[in-house]
Amino acid sequence: MSVGSYSKLSSSTGMITLQANARHVAGFDDFATLAPKAIAAAQRRAINKALGWLRRRIAREVGQQERIAIAAVRQRLRAYKVGSNGQGKLWFGLDPIAASRAGRPRQIRAGVSVAGRRYQGAFFKAVYGSKADIWIRKASKHFKESDYPDSEVSGGGRSRSGWIAENGSRFPLAKAMISLEDVRPHFESWTNKAHQHLLVVMRQELNYELQKLLGRVRSG
């Protein structure tokens, strides 16, 4: 069995893998030999519970740190329950998130306000489709690249990343986005905390399986 949980980062995603190691659970070695199916069931439940705990924790911490609605952060987190390899995974999309999803945008005289942020010179409008977003014209004196990360001018009026071309690209617009780059350093800490939580939950689940087995022995 593998040595423990770990995380892996790419340019646009982060993945945390949780896996238990029975050797970390002192006092259950004999039980693992006698009832391997019970051990496997306990580990499966423990990993799935730890994934749910980790998803809630990350959503709360990122939401507070980046001033983004927790519900919007949760949509970037996908938990994959434990499979036959004894691993459970939590995927986190790290591409910038639309600022309009950080809270409830309000159009004000100076621009748009949302979740404590102000985008001067911007407007809240459905430019393409029925969903409104926060936009600014590139030519605006209030345009700042830091408020519109990962934006590239598109050609032929087609959208790419945060940029669109309005009226045949005469008035290029950029969508207000929030970078998630600052959450990258937390992955190692999240993984370590999740693994420690996993060991606690696994002991509880193993004890539950043991009590079930003892109960059947007593009743027999």
* Interatomic CA distance for residues 45 and 198, integer angstroms: 10
Give which of 2, 61, 45, 77 is closest to 198, Cα–Cα.
Answer: 45
* Interatomic CA distance for residues 210 and 196, integer angstroms: 21
Residue type, 132: A
Instruction: Give yes or no for a contact between 43 and 20, defined as CB atoms under 8 angstroms apart.
Output: yes
* Interatomic CA distance for residues 183 and 201, integer angstroms: 26
Helix (H, G, I), strand (E, B) or coil at 215: helix
* Interatomic CA distance for residues 146 and 129, integer angstroms: 25
Mean pLDDT of the chain: 85
Give me the helices (H) in 3-88, please. Answer: 29-34, 36-66, 70-74
- pLDDT, residue 74, reads 97
Is the pTM of the predicted complex or chain greater than 0.85? no
- pLDDT, residue 210, reads 83
Give which of 52, 53, 20 is closest to 39, Cα–Cα.
Answer: 20
Count CB atoms within 10 A of the CB of residue 59: 21
Give which of 10, 13, 20, 170 is closest to 93, Cα–Cα.
Answer: 13
Chain centre to alpha carbon of residue 122: 28
- pLDDT, residue 7, reads 96
Average pLDDT per consecutive 10 residues, the chain (220 residues; last block may be shorter): 81 94 63 77 93 97 96 97 92 95 95 95 88 91 85 44 48 89 96 94 89 70
- pLDDT, residue 152, reads 45
- pLDDT, residue 70, reads 97
